[in-house]
Chain A
Amino acid sequence: MSQAEVKPPPPVVEMHDVSITFGAVRALDGVSLRLLPGEVHALMGENGAGKSTLIKALTGVYTIDAGRVRIDGVETQFATPAAAQRAGISTVYQEVNLVPNLTVAENMLLGRERHRFGRLGPIDRRDMNRRAAASLQSLGIDVDPGSELGSHPIAVQQLVAIARAVDTDARVLILDEPTSSLDADEVARLFDVMRRLREQGTAIVFVSHFLDQVFEIADRMTILRNGRVVGERLVAETTQLELVQLMIGRDLQVLERLDQAAHEATEEAAEQRLPVLSALGLGRKGSLEATDLTLYPGEVVGIAGLLGSGRTELARLLFGADAPDTGELTVKGSSGRRLRSPRHAIDRKLAFCSEDRKAEGVFEELSVADNMLLGLQASRGWLRPIPTATRSALVKEFMAALDVRPADSSLPMRSLSGGNQQKVLLARWLITEPDVLLLDEPTRGIDIGAKTQIQQLVADLAEKGMSVVFISAELEEVLRLSHRLVVLKDRRKIAERPNRGIDINDVLEIITGEPGGVAEKERADA
């Protein structure tokens, strides 16, 4: 939409310098966004970049701490999602936000239903089904409007959610990862609908982690990182490579070159030994295609891939947190059976730090010491408490070794910063003396000091013979730490190679399929 450049129409939504803080975390930090009528505007960013928060700030789910929102030039703040809807802003959230136990038609039209015999009469179901059928048909969705929504697959439910949003004659349509559960045909159909709406002048916000889709449908994009806007670009003038660089950020100061020689030495030694863990065709429907992975003692395997590439899913399958549908997993030469549960995995000396610290790692109300010792205690069972002397010795040792601050192990976990919480979680697993450590984004959202400490720790552990699977959205980090690199894309392993003479541009090239050198040169020129 380069004609927009010639004579830009007045923006329908303007967010200026918007900030939102949750407790100590600044989720949005002075973010500005403008949406023009008749454009598809992509919102790009990694996990935790602030995309969802921004959307919820616009639609009245969250209250804004600072900044202004203008709709058609008028300063507004929506108190509820309903208020935003009345103002013509419709949202389809990532997880289907409809009600599974009502019919498709009710889900589309509830709140805007018509009655028979005047307002007090019964809801006119026939009219409801007719209207729903008409609008579903116009989107090319073949569903019986009278059927229960929950009886359809998620992809259909997602399309119904979109149909509901479209049907409200929205001037702004927000689609938060609408394509993650759709197949190629369904995506094409959705894009047709989006194009038609764009022609009618609707402003569409499109969030997706599928880069190809963004480049196919979007006109403009705003890129977020760590709650800040790091760029607003026209899609036509941007390469995928440039976009990914903006999304994951390149902290050039921290980028020290790694000690290649040392890596190669350990790697060669590793080849001689038996693998500590090997997965053969490990996969799960809807989360990861069958994947092979072998891990040798003392080796760090880095997993590179964007959000949604299957990097988290791989770690969860290795740990038994999700049950795999296919494949075999051998741990230290034991039987080729899959791990049924985390308990099972822990007994085989595996450990897993989840990317979602808050929901899947931390016990906020328990003390730091309890959080640290929980893993070991869980293995021992409740009847065999860790002796007090051992307890305090272990806690003291790991508080010091990982430099947890404040150095008071009796504080509740919630009073610690993200970085220190992460150290405590690492300590929880190190206390269990695992052979394999699965780390999913261990450094996300933590300060630079704690980050380097954790990176150093991983290197030291590997030196001592522990095997580590290291997942991170930051490619520098992955490259600096790993001996071997596995690249995932679209829930598939697309490359695996020793980390020898590879730089970030090579990895980006693998992921985007575009030559990296060019973009790099352009940057230098600019």
Chain B
Amino acid sequence: MNRYWKEFSKGLIHNNPVFVILLGMCPTLATTTNALNGFSMGLATMAVLVGSNLTISLIRKLIPDTIRIPAFIVVIATFVTTIQRVMEAWAPPAINESLGIFIPLIVVNCIILGRAEAFASKNTPLLSVLDGLGMGLGFTFALTLLGSLREILGNGTLFGFRFLPTDFSMLTFILAPGGFLVLGLIIAVLQKLNSKKDTGVSA
């Protein structure tokens, strides 16, 4: 039981794919113009990650070692195409519009290929699904946090609810530079917290 919890929880904070391992930067920066977009992108990526982790783990003994990367890419691309079709059919048009090209680009998100190569190709299906869920939730959490901060600073709203006057908004934070700045500052804060914890333990 402990093992399962460990594989699930490691992606949430400790090995967070965005803040700690710095993977999947393109969707992280591009789709977090507001909290809802970031959250939707996180969920879409998590769905692909769980599906591809499960499938790859089920067929891991059938894939010859030399062609494993192309095989993984085909599996991932299949799930991405499925999600793309599902979102075109059921997701609100505004979300499809703003996520745009980054839905097909989930296929080259390094997190997904990274988990396939590092985890799912070596572990049992149940563990791989838990790993995918944990990493996916960590990614969703990171994107929602970044999107929330950018929406509050740039527009004075959170998930569309206004709680700061319009005069307060700084549009730059919704535009491209804001993404880089906010993510950089979040990581700086995390590094500061981590270094404190480390010195506390050693002292």
Is B a genuine binding partner of A? Answer: no
Listed in ascending order, the chain B residues whose CB lies under 8 Å from chain A are none
Listed in ascending order, the chain A residues whose CB lies under 8 Å from chain B are none
